[in-house]
A and B are shown apart, each in its own frame.
Chain A
Amino acid sequence: MSLALLIEQLLNGLQLGVMLFLIAAGLTLIFGVMGLINLAHGSLYMVGAFACASVAAATGSFWIGLVASLAASAAAGALMEITVIRRLYARDHLDQVLATFALILVFSEGTRWLFGSFPLYLDIPPALQGAVALPGGGQYPLYRLAIIGVGVLVAAGLYLLIGRTRLGMRIRAGETDREMIAALGVDIRALYTLVFALGAALAGLAGALVGALQSVQVGMGEPALILAFVVIVIGGIGSIKGALVGAVLVGLVDTMGRFLLPKLLALTLPATQAGPVGAALASMLIYILMALILAFRPSGLFSARS
């Protein structure tokens, strides 16, 4: 095992973590502000990927596709909030789970209706093709590095937005006491729609970025959504900082587990068994991590609400 390979795997883990952060940030913001559990968040991720892939195929430009993915997922999010989600804020979590589960069915089958069952493909933009040399030899794709950069920028942007702007102040106030800020004259309905659309746009951005690495297909949202759930449960639901820490932790643990566990097991087990046992264990690793963290901190690492 060379140093370059190790660095490559660490970067892969970081890149996965950054993607998870983009999805989890919206999810945790929506829960923190509106108290809503949104299973259909993965569908918004899918909408972003499909919008980017189809617009990029039509115009030939990844960048126009990226803008389209932001617009389409924000619009889908706002539409979802106004037609369905708005009626769920006062309901219990069971109703929220059920209604957003229903939305997944509608979005998945609707997308399959529009685009067919075959996956779409999205090419990496020419400016980001190619690779960067790693210390210790070896190459790393520029595009994946760019994704990490986007994630860092978004995290910094969110930090400034929530901590330093008037909108962020209202979002924080909405988390603390929604009646009070409504009484102070803030249009809480519009604020909720805006927060929902913002979360949707982040998920759509993640979908578009990942779309160039994987195939764009119906059902791509749910595995990402479940990982994002693990992230926000680890980080503490409602906390953006928790989402960032949780996402990087999950990304690194998952990637490094898949890389290292089979090698570690090979020291004690015969090679024919070490591979499958290692792979099976590695796929369970983040859930074990989550169970361990919750056993000691039942409301996550950085709980916003206790």
Chain B
Amino acid sequence: MSPRETAVTLALLVLLPAAALAALLLGETFYVTLATRIAVLALAAVGLNIALGLGGLVSFGHAAFFGLGGYAAGVLATHAFNAEPLAFGLAGTTSMPAIWLAAVLVCGLVALPIGLVSLRTSGVYFIMITLAFAQMIYYFAISWPAYGGEDGLSIYVRNAFPGVETAKPFPFFLLAFALLAAALALFHRLQASRFGTALEAARQNPVRLSALGISPFAIRLVAFVLSAMVTGLAGALFADLNRFVSPSMLSWHMSGELIVLIILGGKGRLAGPLAGAALYVAFEHALGGLTERWQFFLGLVLLAVVFFARGGLVGLLAGRPRHG
């Protein structure tokens, strides 16, 4: 990373908690929740950025993992609330670490077969297949009545984390932000590691990579699964943030939004997802307050980004990446 990009990244990482703290001190807890929303969406996009940014895998189905993470939280909390045992002798739980673990595991286990089939294809086929798998899970969630079906599932009390008052907005923000920071650290390590280099090479020239004795398929599969796990973790947090999970978290629109977050911020850039999520939520809040039709203008802004600002916000602030 260039020194300028490091500065932009650090500034964004300081600004978000500073804004949340300022909102708390001013008694504007609504804005703390908004900052939490930014952190959670950014976390989801960091996950997608592993596949899309580093690996060049345009997954148009990451909402599947976002939603599965959300349902992991919702289902476990519901079973704990009703004191009904889950399948295989497991009980529900309201402990966030256990829920996070479940969300990450479920997403990894689902991403593995999806990746095995989807990564056999490339280009447009990959985009459409990931979309189709996500739709499959979406329709399943809608027509399966046990967990609310189309109406979704409410989480009556926000799940618990040892030593943290999760029901209050600011402590919950800190939890989400800590996870985001951890995911960003993981992304940074990954980018600099041998694995990250191989992934980058698989994107730029898979033939040369296989000539070096590294299978692009295996590298991509690991990246895809890892990416799904991070996005799934974000989904669990998102469900706890809204205390609600519904099939809309699984919809293709959500997959599109996750891609939008990355492009708004800057594809493959460490701070891209955070910048994109901040921009998106600010835009949604500012324009959404002015007009019901804010998505119309979002569409126009996106077109402008595609045509005139391909590096996204981080690209504007920190210049072009060293190798793109």
Given A93-B124, A299-B125: A287 and B300 interface contact (C-beta under 8 Å): no
Stretch in contact with the other chain, from B71-79, B92-100, B193-201, B301-309: B301-309
Query: B58 interface residue, CB < 8 Å from A?
Result: yes
B143 touches A233 (CB 8 A): no
Query: A8 interface residue, CB < 8 Å from B?
Result: no
A222 to B251, CA, bound (A): 11
Query: A283 interface residue, CB < 8 Å from B?
Result: yes
| Contact pick for B133, options A84, A291, A295, A299, CB 8 Å | A291
Residues in B neighbouring A300, C-beta threshold 8 A? 125
A93 to B306, CA, bound (A): 12
Residues in A neighbouring B295, C-beta threshold 8 A? 105, 108-109
Query: B136 interface residue, CB < 8 Å from A?
Result: yes
A294 touches B129 (CB 8 A): yes
B260 touches A98 (CB 8 A): yes
A113 touches B296 (CB 8 A): yes
- Determine chain B's interface SS by DSSP, over half rule: helix
B125 touches A98 (CB 8 A): no
B124 touches A237 (CB 8 A): yes
Minimum CB–CB distance for B291 against chain A, Å: 10
Residues in B115-173 with C-beta less than 8 Å from chain A: 117, 120-121, 123-125, 127-129, 131-133, 135-136, 139-140, 142-145
A58 to B131, CA, bound (A): 39
A284 to B139, CA, bound (A): 7
B143 touches A99 (CB 8 A): no
B296 touches A294 (CB 8 A): no
Residues in A93-126 with C-beta less than 8 Å from chain B: 93-95, 97-99, 101-106, 108-110, 112-113
Q: How large is the interface on A (under 10, 10 to 19, 20 to 34, 35 or more residues)?
A: 35 or more
Query: A229 interface residue, CB < 8 Å from B?
Result: yes
| Contact pick for B302, options A88, A102, A226, A233, CB 8 Å | A102
Query: B177 interface residue, CB < 8 Å from A?
Result: no
A298 touches B123 (CB 8 A): no
B125 touches A279 (CB 8 A): no
Given A226-B252, A280-B140, A294-B117: A101 and B259 interface contact (C-beta under 8 Å): yes
Residues in A neighbouring B301, C-beta threshold 8 A? 102
| Contact pick for B132, options A101, A279, A287, CB 8 Å | A287
A-B contact count (CB 8 A): 124
A109 to B293, CA, bound (A): 6
B125 touches A110 (CB 8 A): no
A288 touches B136 (CB 8 A): yes
Residues in B neighbouring A91, C-beta threshold 8 A? 306
B296 touches A295 (CB 8 A): no
Query: B263 interface residue, CB < 8 Å from A?
Result: yes
A276 to B139, CA, bound (A): 12
Residues in B neighbouring A232, C-beta threshold 8 A? 128
Given A101-B256, A102-B306, A105-B295: A298 and B132 interface contact (C-beta under 8 Å): no
Given A87-B307, A113-B293: A283 and B129 interface contact (C-beta under 8 Å): no
Q: How large is the interface on B (under 10, 10 to 19, 20 to 34, 35 or more residues)?
A: 35 or more
In the complex, residue of chain A having the shortest beta-carbon distance to the beta carbon of B251: A222
A263 to B295, CA, bound (A): 43
B123 touches A93 (CB 8 A): yes
- Determine chain A's interface SS by DSSP, over half rule: helix
B299 touches A37 (CB 8 A): no
Query: B278 interface residue, CB < 8 Å from A?
Result: no
A222 touches B252 (CB 8 A): yes
| Contact pick for B125, options A94, A105, A233, A280, CB 8 Å | A233
A283 touches B142 (CB 8 A): yes
A94 to B52, CA, bound (A): 9
Query: A259 interface residue, CB < 8 Å from B?
Result: no
A288 to B137, CA, bound (A): 11
Query: B62 interface residue, CB < 8 Å from A?
Result: no
A37 touches B127 (CB 8 A): yes
In the complex, residue of chain A having the shortest beta-carbon distance to the beta carbon of B302: A102
Minimum CB–CB distance for B42 against chain A, Å: 18
A97 touches B132 (CB 8 A): no
Query: B60 interface residue, CB < 8 Å from A?
Result: yes
A230 to B306, CA, bound (A): 26
A112 to B131, CA, bound (A): 25
Known: A105-B295, A105-B302, A300-B125. 4 other contacts (CB 8 A): A222-B252, A226-B252, A237-B124, A291-B129
Chain B residues within 8 Å of A, Cβ to Cβ: 52, 58, 60, 117, 120-121, 123-125, 127-129, 131-133, 135-136, 139-140, 142-145, 252-253, 256, 259-260, 263, 267, 293, 295-296, 298-303, 305-307, 310
Chain A residues within 8 Å of B, Cβ to Cβ: 31, 37, 84, 87-88, 91, 93-95, 97-99, 101-106, 108-110, 112-113, 222, 226, 229-230, 232-233, 237, 276, 279-280, 283-284, 287-288, 290-291, 294-295, 298-300
